[in-house]
Amino acid sequence: MHAARVRASLRGWGGVGAMAVLCALALAFVLLLPCTQRAPHDGRPAGQRVATGTEARADNCNPSEAQNQTLSPSGADGPAIDAIKARTGAKRKLIVGVDQNSYHWGYRNPNTQGAELEGFDIDLVHRIAQDILGDPEAVQFKAIPTSQRIPAIQDGRVDMVVRTMTINCERLSQVAFSAPYFKTGQQVLAPKSSSITGYNATLAHKKVCTAAGSTAYTKLDADRKAGTLPASTDISTTVPNQLDCLVRLQLGEVDAVVTDGALAASQAAQDPTVELKGGAFTTEYYGVAMKKDASDLVRRVNRILVGYRASGWQASYDQWLSATLGKDSSASKPPAPQYLRTS
C-alpha cells in the first residue's frame, strides 16, 4: 500500500497511538453494519474432504491437523440456532466478538460516519448473519481483547468469535471451531533499521511484545524453554491487543513484535518505519469459534463457509488484504476444509 494512501486512511486518528486510545475508549460500544452478500448453495467444492475421526477432543488432537477438527456442513437448525432466532425485537441479533483495532481485519474506520467497523473478519460476520437471520445488519458486535476471546464464548456473552483466532488443540479443549477460513503463520515485525533479521539468534537480548493469550506468546515461551529461541530473549511484555504492541514498538519500549503474519503485514502498512523480518515460522489457520456444545451452529457456519469460499471470500480478500499480503501469495486463496466423520 502506498504511504500516501496509508496516511489518508488514518487521517483523523492523530497517528496509530491515538487510534489505540480511541479503540480503548470504544471497547464497550456495539455497532450494526450493512452487508450486501447472500450465502449461495451449500454444495462441496473440489478438494473438500471428510476426515475420519470423532468429535474434537483435546486428548486425540494432532497439532498439525487441528484445523480439521470440525463437523461437516449442515443447514439444519438446532438448539443453538433456535436460541438465536428466538430473540425478539431489537435483541434479535447475532452476537459476535470481534476486534476493532486490527487494520483491515476488524477496525473502526475514522473516515466513515460513526467510525464504522470494517475489514475481512467483519465481512464474514455479515455473511453469517445474512444466512442465519436473513439480515446482514442483524449483528451486535462486541469488541473483546485477545485474552477474552474464549471466556466470552464460554460465559455466553457472544454466540461466536470472528477475530483472527487461530485453531489449535489447546483451544479445541475449550471451544469448538468452524473449518478454517484463512491460512497464515507467525512472523517478526521490527523497525527497518533493526539488526533483527527474523525468528533466529538475532532476537538474543531483545525485548519482544506479544498479545496476552495469543499463539505467538505460547510459541515463544515453548521455544525459549526448548532452547530454540535464545534464553536472553525477553518475552515478558504482553498486551491486551496486538495494536498495543505496535505502539510499544513505536515508543521504543520493545525491539520487536511477534504475531500472525497477516496481522503483522497490516501493522507494517500503518507505519512505514517497520517491516516484516524473515518468513513465517509456523503455519496457522483462523476459524470461527463457538461453544463446544453448539454443534448445530458449527455445522451451519461450515455450510455458510462453503458458499463464501465460492463467492465472497475472494472479493473480501482483494478489498482488504491483497495490498499488504499480495494477490498471488499463499494466503490469497481460502484453505480447503476437511471434516470429522462422527459416529
Q: What is the DSSP string of 231-279?
A: TT-EEEEEESSHHHHHHHHHTTS-SEEEEEHHHHHHHHHH-TTEEEES-
Domain count, the chain: 2
Please report the pLDDT score of residue 341 as a whole number: 73
Distance CA 221, CA 200 (A): 14
Judgement on whether residues 228 and 310 belong to the same structural domain of the protein: no
Question: What pLDDT is recorded for position 38?
Answer: 36
Provide the residue range defining the domain that includes 192: 186-277
Residues 214 and 176 in one domain: no
Q: How far apart are CA 101 and CA 293, in angstroms?
A: 30
Determine the pLDDT at residue 241.
84
pLDDT tens digits for range 90-104: 999 999 999 998 999
* 309 occurs within a structural domain: yes
The answer to whether position 11 is within a domain reads: no
What is the rounded distance in angstroms from the CA atom of residue 159 to the CA atom of residue 144?
A: 13
Residue 51 lies in a domain: no
Based on the fold, state whether residues 300 and 261 are members of the same structural domain.
no
- 2 is a domain residue: no
> Is 40 domain-assigned?
no
79 plus 180 within the same structural domain: yes
Residue ranges, the chain, pLDDT below 70: 1-59, 342-343
Confidence at residue 58, expressed as pLDDT on a 0 to 100 scale: 52
Is 338 inside a domain boundary? no
Last-in-domain residue among 257, 277, 297: 277
User: Any idea which residue has 477474552 for its cell?
Assistant: 148
Give a three-class secondary structure readout of 209-241: EEECCCHHHHHHHHHHHHCCCCCCCEEEEEECC
Tell whether 88 and 115 lie within a shared domain: yes
Q: What is the pLDDT of residue 243?
A: 83
- State the cell numbers at 222: 515453548
pLDDT at 17: 44
Assess whether 81 and 152 both reside in one domain.
Answer: yes
Last residue of one domain, picked from the residues 230, 257, 277: 277
First to last CA, the chain: 49
80 and 176 in a common domain: yes
On whether both 163 and 256 belong to a single domain, the answer is no
Give the per-residue pLDDT at 20: 43
* 212 and 171 within one domain: no
**Domain closes at, from 261, 277, 293:** 277
pTM, whole model, 2 decimals? 0.82
On whether residue 43 sits in a domain, the answer given is: no
**CATH code of the domain covering residue 240:** 3.40.190.10
251 domain residue, yes or no: yes
Buried b (16+ CB within 10 A) or exposed e, 44-73: beeebeeeebebbeeeebeeeebbbbbbbb
Euclidean distance between CA atoms 193 and 48, whole angstroms: 44
The verdict on 142 and 236 lying in the same domain is no
Q: Is there a single domain that holds both residue 174 and residue 70?
A: yes
Are both 177 and 84 inside the same structural domain? yes
